[in-house]
Structures are given as structure tokens and as C-alpha cells.
Structure 1
């Protein structure tokens, strides 16, 4: 059956994916950039490897999908280099959002993931000769995994998670993924439920190492929050009453904007900091003009020297890379994506002591589920629900304080996964 799936993948599934990718190249700038960027992978690897003394050099190859998965991986990279300071780390990215936005000294070589053709991944593996090939979360590629197995290169998957109603348990799909996952040397899941789903997919896992080690993303969020030690001393009741709207999509705007306007009208002492998911001119101008037409004072974040006591009712963030810091200037966070693709990062506002509100598409995010369970987060379906929970948080100090503490507890209760993953990579 393994060879049947190899044939099906390489002669049917992979060509379909390539065809879709080529169509995407024509119409989508990001896909086009990533597609052509992969043609530089071989040269980049050759240049990097030729600069090393291969007789004494240990290389780990990490693969992440995008920017978010790199942040999840970073505490693992830091921990690994603390224990083995002389190793080299190669990180491959699938998406342009990761490749273009990550410039980190912890990485020794940054590449786009090669196209998943057998001859290309074999060439990359022969060039790198990694001690281990390590995947983060979910972006796994069959030929890369199968080829590494054939070359006796151990492969690791960490922060593995599965949707509540994962299609990977459907008979035919399960058979395919069984023949992919069975070629891993070790798999580390986030939760016990993920572990149970993985074992159902694998059926009998032979000599594979399977452990529940948690999510290193909590460690990264906690580490970054330490940069804001001054803000740490600010109790939430002493902050300006700002609602931070992070990673906003158009669908979020449709489902909370009326409720937001009611909040502004009913509470003269609250402020809004609006952060678009994509801070392009079209999105920024649309929000800017809307609030201006409603008679509110509006400014762009880039026009502000500091989020101090004199800022206008509405600030629109028109730069990237500042959201995690901005959360420390608020008392409530709404996180976008929950009415479309799935919610964005709820950990950053939680560590900043903010109660977190988000849309209904959160089932695939364990941290959101934990926020709801502990009383630090809420899922809403419409404007009315958004207004009701936000208004209660604004006007009930005890409710706000309890929710703030619960949100932070979710992070603190999960710290330590990065250390466990590093230990597994080294010892298993």
C-alpha cells in the first residue's frame, strides 16, 4: 500500500497541486514570489554548505510554514543552540510571509522549501546531510519525509495538532496519512487529545516515539512579553480604556462594527486601536474614512510618537511588527479572523493581561478553547454579543480583573513546552 500511495501522490496529487500553484502564480503576487523564490534554494544551500567545515559541523533542518510557525519554533531554536552552541540551523519556509519577514540571527541559513519532487528533495537532503529534519505543527510534505526515511535521516514533528473533526480520520484519507506519519522517527503533540487522534491515524506505530509535550508558542509569547517590563507593572485598571482590535478582516468589521459604535456612543472614556490584518492603503483608508465621517478624531499610528494620554478616540495602526507591544496599552482585545479563515494569535493579548474576544471559528486553536474554559475569553457571533461582553468588561471592574487574571493564567499554565521539545530532539 505504501508504494500505491507513493504513485498516487507523485503522479496524481502532486501534479494537481503544481497545476493549481501555476494558476496562482498568474493571479497572486505572493504565490508568484514564493514559486520563483524556490528556484534559488539549490544555489543558496550550495553556497552555505561550501562555507562550512563539514568534518565537524552538525546541522539541523527545521521546516515551518510561515511567520506564525517560525515564532512557535523560535524558543526551540534558542534552547537547542544554548545546549549545542556550535550547531548550524537551516530554516525552510513555505510562504513568503515567513521568508520575507524573518531576519533572525538564530538562523544560519534561510531558504524556501524545495518543490516536493523526489529528485529535488533528495538533492537538498544530500547537500545538507542534516542530523535531523524537524517539522513544526502541520506543514508536512510526503516526498521529503519518505526520502529522509530512505536516507536514514530521522524526522521529527513537534507541536502536532489535529482539528476536532479532522478529515485525516476518514478511511481513505487516514490510509494516506498513515503512510506519511509512520515514516517519522518521533512526533510530539500539543495535547492528549491530539495524541489520541494521532494514534487513531497510525493504528500501530511500531517503534515511533510519540509524546505529549505541549506548544512552544506559549514560551515565545512569554519571552517576548519580558521586553515590556515597565508595562508589566501597570495593573489593567490603571491603563487607558482602549479596546485593541488585532488582525482585523473585513468579515470582522461586518460583525462587530455596529456593536463597536454603540460602545463608543455609550462610553465616552473608551478608545479604539484598530490593527488591520493587512495594513495596505485600501484597508487603512476605509476604516479611517468611516470613523472620520462619524465625527470621531482619527490618527494613524505612524503619526503618534507614543501611545500616551492624549491620543484620539481612534488610532489605526499602519505599520507591522508592533501589535504585541500595543496590547499592553489596552484593557480588552478583539482578535480577528474568527468570521473567515480562523482566529489569529490570542496568546499575545492574553499574556498582556487582556480578556480576549473573537469570532466563532476557533475550534482548531487549543489556546482559545482554554481561554473560554477559564473565563478569559469569549466567542461571539454578532454585533449584539460583542457589545454585551465588551460593555460588561468596561463597566464591571471585578469582572474585568477576573477575566484578565484568567487570560494570563492560560499562558503561565502552559510554559515549558520548548524545553521539553529540545530535550526530545536531543535525546530521542
Structure 2
């Protein structure tokens, strides 16, 4: 099985290299890993130990960020190294001030794992939510370096729990401790004889609650909203935007802010075709208050933009799954999203308490929108839900600090 895994990693690398000839994400993926070990050697002293945080992408970074920042605050002498798998994480956070180095994660080969771990010399390694790499985990295990999974979440349909998943179960066996989000995850791990587990919840709650207390302010966006009721649509995809365009036409009395997940020119142009009167954030001025729709055509401000809305629509529910609902909920906003939310416990919870709705059609979107315009308590219910789920970071740091 290991042979097949190694072949799959090599094949993946080959495919990404081919795609890099015409795909920007793949191009960043490949170029960012060129001379990676030389770049690490220039920035990181291998004679000094580091705390290694790995994140798949930007979402996982925000999820693990509360723990990283608490370690930095409580143990300022500790050195922190961050790796990302995806360009969408690295390219935005490559200059993150609290890290001593931020790099792409080289592909998971035996030689890369040994070279990387020797280069950054981690005293502990922290992986957030998922990404289970055989060679990196095995090398950490053989080196006696504690490996933690934080905000982990498991489902019965995952390969770890199938009769043919012995290889994947072996990867999990290299982890020293799992901090999982719910009881189901703990029970599933117990079924495969993994007992080094505790339920700590999701560190995202700590992050979004903290962000909602002191968000960055945007004067031009505030003037755009002009004290009118506003729907914020975050991390949207074309399927989401087509439905939103219909809602926009039906509710000219509301303002709408659309922050698409992808901000390439072709996508932004497509949104403008759907909503010809929309203005781009890059073109926003103090005189734009009469415009109904604003398109956020940059990355990194959405988590604070939510402060200007009354209702949130979260994209991704017509694709592989919805994006972050908690950022909006933390600001006291009821949330609406598409049908694919089953992998997200917080989405299920928000629906069960009346603070969220899942929709599949334009008619259902309008119905959910009208429900939340009438229900003035749903937003407060969402905010209270977030605030009662905080505290995961403190629980985790208390455990892992025993290794410092």
C-alpha cells in the first residue's frame, strides 16, 4: 500500500506541474516549492528548536491561529514555523508577523520529510483539522517529536473506518494526541483503538469570537451601507451568485455585499454581468452610497466586513461544501447556505436552534431571507451559540505546554 501511496504522490506532483502551465493556483503551487530547502536554510537555524504549525489552507490557518497566537503571547521565547499546502493560504499569510518562517510544505516523500524536519527541528508539530501525510507523520514519530491534531473531526464514511483502511489507520497511529470537535469523532477513533483523544471543541470559535470584538473598520463600506439593511454574501461561487442576483432584483430596499471565493477577473466580470449596477470594492468611493451592490474584489477583509450586515449568505453549498459560517454568526447574523453542509457540525447546530437555513432554489432563498428579516432574535441566537463554544484554545495549550 505504501508503494501505491508513493506513486500517487509522484503522480499528483506531475499533474500539478502540467496544470501550472495554464492555471495560476498550480503555478503558485509549483513555483513556491522551488528551492524550498535552500529558502528554509536561509531563514531557519536548525540548531534551535521550533514549534511547527501546518495548515492546509487559509481556513485552517484561521482555525489554528488562536492557539498559535496564545503560544506566542505566553511563550515569547518560542520560535514558530508555519507551512501551508495550498497557495490560498501561503500567498496571503507568507508575511505573517508572528512566525519566524512561513513556507510551502514539500510533497510528502520520505526524503522530503526527513529534510524538512531536520531543517526546522520542531520540538512539537501541530496540524489543524486534517491532512494526514504518511512520511511526515512517520518521521516525526521515529524522531520522538510530539504530533498533535487540533480541531479534528471524523465521520463514519472516512477511509480510516473502512475495512480496507488499514494503511490510513497506520497514519493516525503516528499522532500523539487528538483534540477533536465532538463526541462522534472520539467514539470513531475509539473503535479503531485510538484512545489518546479528548473533546476540546473547535478553535475557530475562539478566533471568530475574538475577531467580532475588535474587527477592522472600513469607512467606505460603512458609507456604502448608508445605515440600510445589508446582506453579506461570503465566499460565493457562481451557483450561489445566480441565486443572489434574483434576490437582489426582488429586494431593491436592501444593500448587498458579495465577497466571492475566487477573485480572478473572469469571475468578477461574471458577477457584474449578473448584476450590472454592482460596483467593485477597488472602485469604491464616498459617493457610492446610492449603489445597491458591492463586490469585494480582494482577499483578507471578509471576516471584518460581516460587521456591516444583518443577514449572511455563505457560499460553497452547491459545490464541495459550505465555507465559514461562524465568522458571520459571531457578529450576530443568521446565516443562509446551500444544501451541502452535512460535514459541518456548526451548520447543523445553527439550523437546529433556528439561526440558519439551508436552501436549494431561488424560492427557498427568498423564503429564508424573509424569515430572517422578520425574526429579529435569530442573529442573537447565532452569536450566543458562538460565545458558548469558546475555550478550546485554553484546553489545548494546557495539554501541549507540558512538552515545552
TM-score by length of 1: 0.86
Task: Quote how far apart the aligned CAs of 1:372 are.
Answer: 0.7
Cα displacement string for residues 375-405 of structure 1 (whole angstroms, at most 9, x for unaligned residues)? 11111111111011102322x2xx1x22111
Moved over 6 A (4+): none
Task: Quote how far apart the aligned CAs of 1:270 are.
Answer: 1.4
Cα displacement string for residues 117-164 of structure 1 (whole angstroms, at most 9, x for unaligned residues)? 111211221222211122111112111101111122221111111246
Secondary structure of 1:272's aligned partner:
strand
- Residues 212 and 307, structure 2, Cα contact 8 Å, conserved in 1: no
> For residue 365 of structure 1, what is the aligned residue in structure 2?
344
Residues 192, 257 of structure 1: CA spacing in aligned structure 2 closer, same or farther, 3 A cutoff?
Answer: same
Matches within 5 A, 1:336-415: 336-394=315-373, 396=374, 399=375, 401-415=376-390
Matches within 5 A, 1:211-360: 211-228=198-215, 240-262=228-250, 264=251, 268-292=252-276, 297-305=277-285, 310-360=289-339
> For residue 186 of structure 2, what is the aligned residue in structure 1?
195
> For residue 5 of structure 2, what is the aligned residue in structure 1?
9
Matches within 5 A, 1:2-81: 5-10=1-6, 12-50=7-45, 54=47, 57-81=48-72
Secondary structure of 1:74's aligned partner:
helix
- Residues 61 and 89, structure 1, Cα contact 8 Å, conserved in 2: yes
Matches within 5 A, 1:125-140: 125-140=117-132
Aligned length: 396
- Residues 313 and 337, structure 2, Cα contact 8 Å, conserved in 1: yes
Cα displacement string for residues 81-134 of structure 1 (whole angstroms, at most 9, x for unaligned residues)? 222210100101101111110122111111111221111211221222211122
Cα displacement string for residues 310-334 of structure 1 (whole angstroms, at most 9, x for unaligned residues)? 3422222222222122211111111
> For residue 133 of structure 2, what is the aligned residue in structure 1?
141
In the aligned structure 2, how far is the partner of 1:255 from the partner of 1:298?
15
Could you say which structure has the higher helix fraction? 1
Residues 123, 298 of structure 1: CA spacing in aligned structure 2 closer, same or farther, 3 A cutoff?
Answer: closer
- Residues 176 and 196, structure 2, Cα contact 8 Å, conserved in 1: yes
List gaps (5 residues or longer) in structure 2: none
Task: Quote how far apart the aligned CAs of 1:217 are.
Answer: 1.1
> For residue 88 of structure 2, what is the aligned residue in structure 1?
97
Residues 217, 306 of structure 1: CA spacing in aligned structure 2 closer, same or farther, 3 A cutoff?
Answer: farther
In the aligned structure 1, how far is the partner of 2:300 from the partner of 2:287?
15
List gaps (5 residues or longer) in structure 1: none
> For residue 111 of structure 2, what is the aligned residue in structure 1?
119
Residues 424, 246 of structure 1: CA spacing in aligned structure 2 closer, same or farther, 3 A cutoff?
Answer: same
In the aligned structure 2, how far is the partner of 1:96 from the partner of 1:157?
22
In the aligned structure 2, how far is the partner of 1:136 from the partner of 1:109?
18
Residues 32, 279 of structure 1: CA spacing in aligned structure 2 closer, same or farther, 3 A cutoff?
Answer: closer
- Residues 259 and 384, structure 1, Cα contact 8 Å, conserved in 2: no
In the aligned structure 1, how far is the partner of 2:308 from the partner of 2:265?
24
- Residues 217 and 304, structure 2, Cα contact 8 Å, conserved in 1: no
Q: Does 1:423 align with 2:402?
A: no
Task: Quote how far apart the aligned CAs of 1:298 are.
Answer: 3.3
Residues 72, 338 of structure 1: CA spacing in aligned structure 2 closer, same or farther, 3 A cutoff?
Answer: same
- Residues 301 and 318, structure 1, Cα contact 8 Å, conserved in 2: yes
- Residues 339 and 359, structure 2, Cα contact 8 Å, conserved in 1: yes
Secondary structure of 1:217's aligned partner:
helix
- Residues 164 and 364, structure 1, Cα contact 8 Å, conserved in 2: no
Structure with the greater alpha carbon radius of gyration:
1
Deviates more, 1:164-173 or 1:181-190: 164-173
In the aligned structure 2, how far is the partner of 1:118 from the partner of 1:17?
15
